[in-house]
Structure 1
Amino acid sequence: MLDLNNKSILITGGTGSFGKAFTKIALERWPDIKRLVIFSRDEQKQFQMAQEFPASKYPMIRFFIGDVRDFDRVRRALKGVEYVIHAAAMKHVPIAEYNPMECIKTNIIGAENIINACLETTVEKVVALSTDKAAAPINLYGATKLASDKLFIAANNIRGYNPIKFSVVRYGNVMGSNGSVIPFFLNKRKEGVLPITDPAMTRFNISLTEGVEMVLHALETAWGGELFVPKIPSYRITDVAQAVGGDCEQKVVGIRPGEKIHEEMITSSDSFTTYDLGRYYVILPQVPRWSVEEFVSHFKAQRVPEGFRYNSGENNEWLDVPMLRKLITEHVDPSFTA
């Protein structure tokens, strides 16, 4: 069983939606965490988060201003840290397309800095957050996250005698996260018109809590080099619009550059190294440092069929309008009424 009591943990991008959710859940479950370092570059968000988690009640939290692009600052922040969760990224697709080198510096060079700094310090486990857009990417954001994923997975092969383990978790649209579609629709519905990119569009759905649980699963079980993918439901964008604003006009505005109609998390090319773990799928590394046979036996893993793919348009589980409304109330806005 994973036990974070008396452990020192660092979260990059820790003031984001995931970082705050992880902090809340981790401190409720393990109140004796030794140190929880919130590493981010936005002082205003750190100030706001410090109001939610005051030092008088949470003396183990440390707010550390820094940028993953700055190797020396990253290495300084990692002193004495045992577990790292890498959630920092430039993630807005249009902004990344317009500022490509900035996206590369944060998402790729930043990943390299995290890896090298972890290898030089006392870090034991690293879990990096990925995205569905890294599977067969068609935009720069997805391409940089695919490169980041490859760096973290390959880091297991350059660690030498260091027992550190690097793994990756990949999931889709996080319900209620900053910049996601549901808060956007909730804000737009007062105008009476909800912009729909394409009526056929679908997305996977995962709650922040489920995302945190997945990272904790990786921290507990990863052997090093795995890429974990959750089994989660899909929704149709038109159903989300109906759930949020049933009386609103749905205006089709066309898909944005670099956007897909359906999210994809496992491609058919990944199927050769993909296994079913029950609650999750896992894509194993091309060059593992351990026996695949032992891994399969230990986790009772089942090989997926050759050519298997996992995308939001061909999913077996769907959220309808009433289910979406219930989830919005539970995970996004408790005061929401349709």
Structure 2
Amino acid sequence: MFMDKLKQKFFNNLYTGDNKLKILDQRYLPRWAVILLDVLFCIFSMGVAYFVLLETPMVFPEIVSILVQGTVIIALNIIFFFVFKTYSGIIRHSTFMDIFKLAFSSFFTAITVISISYIYFFTSGSKLFLSTFVLLYMLLSFTTMLLFRISVKEVYQFMKNSSVGSFKKRVAIVGVDDHTISLGKALTTESNLPFQLVGFLSESFGSKRYKILGKPVIPLKDNFAEVISVHQIDGILIISESLTSKEKNQIVDECLANNVEMFNVPLLETWNKKEDIQSQIKPIQIEDLLDRDPILIESDSIKNDLHGKTILVTGGAGSIGSEIVRQIAEFDPKLIVVLDQAESALHELEIYLIQNYPKLNFITELANISNMYRLEMLFDKYDFEMVYHAAAYKHVPLIERNPLEAIYVNILGTVNLSVLSVKHNIDKFVMVSTDKAVNPTNVMGASKRAAEMYVQSLQNSNKDLKTRFITTRFGNVLGSNGSVIPHFRKQITQGGPVTVTHKDIIRYFMTIPEACQLVLQAGTMGVGGEIFVFDMGKPIRILDMAERMIRLSGFEPYEDIDIKITGLRPGEKLYEELLNDTSTVLPTHHPKIMISKVPCGAFEEINKKMKTLIKTATRHKDSQVVKLLKDLVPEFISENSEFEVLDTTSFIKKE
């Protein structure tokens, strides 16, 4: 009983609450202790050297006693300890530089002693020290001090690995190249990481004989499940940039089928130096699996457009607008004015820009773009040269219930900015639109199409117009505020169910950064009046995305987390289009950007209808406003909406 209590007390003192040895948390040895230990090793080495040579025919000089000789040698060695600061390194974290310091101190000690001995020999004919003794001492003392450091380092690593080893995930890195080897080196040198590197998975090697960093290169030839089982692999690390989308998705499918965790790691050169390694290794997300080729932008042309310019970004605190601000910041503008009506989001962006772009000259302005007087004050205050118009209401069901707000912001706001841009001779006006403006089935899409028509017809109305109006149109953006992925992720963390509106609904997706890259690129290409359409890749079935997100979270769809079909929301389409029936598409020199040639009508007629629509929105009911919007945008046919009645023949005749 007593022994059991004693053992328990011992282990309680040995371990902390997180199963980590307390000895590993102790402070480093003070410098005087390191020097004292090294001196003891030197005394030991000198004794060994003396007794080794004592049994040989070699004779020690007797001018001074062996004790004095040893004292002089050790004293010189201590002096060189201080000269080369051999004590400054941390024993358990010794590096090659620390070894070099030890070697230099031993070498210069021997050279100094032998030099003194020969100087005395040339002046008196006798030597003070036996050179063989000095050299043997140098080798023995350096070896013992080196072994001490290696032993401490290895024991420390062993104890640290042992204390958390059972809690570490056994992981393999996919691929063998400079990037993956650098990642492997980071994993093997950082013992506090929750990962234990098992090896490298590769299809390029057909033998297990190859090793990198002491870890095997594991051949991967249609035997993924067997490899996982044999090597007891808990997780797979991939560097997205090292793999094609097809390869990445194949690996993910294999991992999901074998219940293996997947982690995504960015290229080491892109790591945030302020963060530790563990924070860079993150579970793979659905965004990482988007089947898209990387986008290459013409940085020089964009820099020529933005460098040294005063730029207005509307909707600058939103997901698209804030990313546009971040990307513009890389091209050294003269001033960025970030405009938004969302106070909290604008404040958060301001803090972010101050912390991450300390040299950026920017200012945030709280304003509503439907307020012409407020906008005019800003245009008078700042000498804008470019406008990126990303402000808009975008949520289809919400706008379907509040159509007047779409008129105020999406239409009136665009008109206000356009008029002021012409008045102040803005060089470029780049508007962010949406694929929902094509053959719109909801108020939001129709309002954006009306805004497109206005700026396009305004451009065509006057060939001498200095301002170039450029429209960019793309689909859904992964991870944007209120988009489907954050919504699904929240539902999964809450235990489900995940809600999908229709089993066959599909959408085009791109990431926020690449969407904004293409916006900036299109801005450099436009001569005025174009609608630039982005290559959105292949459409994604939303139900498939929901199922995959559940599996990526470690659950099984319909078993652990259910998926419910809720029915299409008001104004929602089964699929989106980037071009309408009357448009034609022209290629550009950029493979991801096309020009949509869409007839927009005469500016006088559109402007007249716009004024009537806006005026009516200030004093009439929703149905009257939506009817005028349908008259302005003839292809607007409501679906799954209370406004479907406006499209019927009987209603039109009644009116």
Shared fold, TM over 0.5: yes
How far off its partner does 1:154 sit? 1.2
Which amino acid in 2 is paired with 1:238? L
Q: Distance in 1 between matches of 2:399 and 2:565?
A: 24
Aligned: 1:45 with 2:345: yes
Deviates more, 1:216-225 or 1:156-165: 156-165
Report the 3-state secondary structure (helix = DSSP H, G, I; strand = E; otherwise coil) of the residue aligned with 1:245. Answer: helix
5 Å-filtered alignment, 1:204-219, equals: 204-219=508-523
Q: Distance in 2 between matches of 1:108 and 1:236?
A: 31
Q: Which of 555, 562, 565 pairs up with 1:252? A: 565
Q: Distance in 2 between matches of 1:252 and 1:287?
A: 38
The corresponding residue for 1:291 is: none
The corresponding residue for 1:196 is: 500
Runs of 4+ deviating beyond 4 Å: none
Q: Is the 8 A contact 2:434 2:473 kept in 1?
A: yes
Q: Distance in 2 between matches of 1:275 and 1:52?
A: 39
How far off its partner does 1:100 sit? 1.2
Q: Is the 8 A contact 1:38 1:61 kept in 2?
A: yes
The corresponding residue for 2:369 is: 68
Q: Is the 8 A contact 2:426 2:466 kept in 1?
A: no
Q: Is the 8 A contact 2:438 2:580 kept in 1?
A: yes
Report the 3-state secondary structure (helix = DSSP H, G, I; strand = E; otherwise coil) of the residue aligned with 1:268. Answer: coil
Report the 3-state secondary structure (helix = DSSP H, G, I; strand = E; otherwise coil) of the residue aligned with 2:369. Answer: coil
Report the 3-state secondary structure (helix = DSSP H, G, I; strand = E; otherwise coil) of the residue aligned with 1:154. Answer: helix
The corresponding residue for 1:329 is: none
Which amino acid in 1 is paired with 2:517? E
- Please tell me whether Structure 1 or Structure 2 has the larger radius of gyration of its CA atoms: 2
Report the 3-state secondary structure (helix = DSSP H, G, I; strand = E; otherwise coil) of the residue aligned with 2:568. Answer: coil
Report the 3-state secondary structure (helix = DSSP H, G, I; strand = E; otherwise coil) of the residue aligned with 2:384. Answer: coil
The corresponding residue for 1:137 is: 440
The corresponding residue for 2:193 is: none
Report the 3-state secondary structure (helix = DSSP H, G, I; strand = E; otherwise coil) of the residue aligned with 1:14. Answer: coil
Q: Which of 583, 594, 612 pairs up with 1:281? A: 594
Q: Distance in 2 between matches of 1:189 and 1:276?
A: 41
Report the 3-state secondary structure (helix = DSSP H, G, I; strand = E; otherwise coil) of the residue aligned with 1:170. Answer: strand
Q: Is the 8 A contact 2:312 2:387 kept in 1?
A: yes
Q: Distance in 2 between matches of 1:249 and 1:102?
A: 36
Q: Is the 8 A contact 2:478 2:512 kept in 1?
A: yes
Which amino acid in 2 is paired with 1:14? G
Report the 3-state secondary structure (helix = DSSP H, G, I; strand = E; otherwise coil) of the residue aligned with 2:533. Answer: strand
Q: Is the 8 A contact 2:582 2:598 kept in 1?
A: no
Aligned: 1:180 with 2:486: no
Q: Which has the higher contact order (CA 8 A, sep 6+)?
A: 1
Q: Distance in 2 between matches of 1:243 and 1:7?
A: 44
Q: Distance in 1 between matches of 2:411 and 2:600?
A: 21
Q: Distance in 1 between matches of 2:576 and 2:428?
A: 29
How far off its partner does 1:287 sit? 7.7
Which amino acid in 2 is paired with 1:235? I
How far off its partner does 1:284 sit? 2.7
Q: Is the 8 A contact 1:201 1:261 kept in 2?
A: yes
Report the 3-state secondary structure (helix = DSSP H, G, I; strand = E; otherwise coil) of the residue aligned with 1:266. Answer: coil
Aligned: 1:264 with 2:577: yes
The corresponding residue for 2:327 is: 25
The corresponding residue for 1:305 is: none
Which amino acid in 2 is paired with 1:21? E
Q: Is the 8 A contact 2:586 2:596 kept in 1?
A: yes
Q: Distance in 2 between matches of 1:84 and 1:40?
A: 13
Q: Distance in 1 between matches of 2:466 and 2:406?
A: 31
Q: Please tell me the root mean square deviation across aligned C-alpha atoms, in Å.
A: 1.7
The corresponding residue for 1:326 is: none
Q: Distance in 2 between matches of 1:95 and 1:202?
A: 20
Aligned: 1:168 with 2:486: no
Q: Is the 8 A contact 1:119 1:159 kept in 2?
A: no
Which amino acid in 1 is paired with 2:498? L
Deviations 1:140-168 (A, max 9, x none): 00110000000111121345633210010
Q: Is the 8 A contact 1:10 1:38 kept in 2?
A: yes
Q: Is the 8 A contact 2:583 2:599 kept in 1?
A: no
Per residue, is there more helix in 1 or in 2?
2
Aligned: 1:121 with 2:432: no
Q: Is the 8 A contact 1:153 1:285 kept in 2?
A: no
How far off its partner does 1:59 sit? 4.5
How far off its partner does 1:23 sit? 1.6
Question: Once the two structures are aligned, what percentage of the paired residues are identical?
Answer: 31
Q: What is the total number of aligned residue pairs between the two structures?
A: 284
Q: Distance in 1 between matches of 2:441 and 2:515?
A: 24
Q: Distance in 2 between matches of 1:286 and 1:163?
A: 22
How far off its partner does 1:122 sit? 3.4
How far off its partner does 1:214 sit? 1.4
Which amino acid in 1 is paired with 2:387? V
- Structure 1: gaps of 5 or more residues: 289-338
Report the 3-state secondary structure (helix = DSSP H, G, I; strand = E; otherwise coil) of the residue aligned with 1:209. Answer: helix
- Structure 2: gaps of 5 or more residues: 1-300, 602-655
The corresponding residue for 2:129 is: none
The corresponding residue for 1:154 is: 457
Q: Is the 8 A contact 1:17 1:177 kept in 2?
A: yes
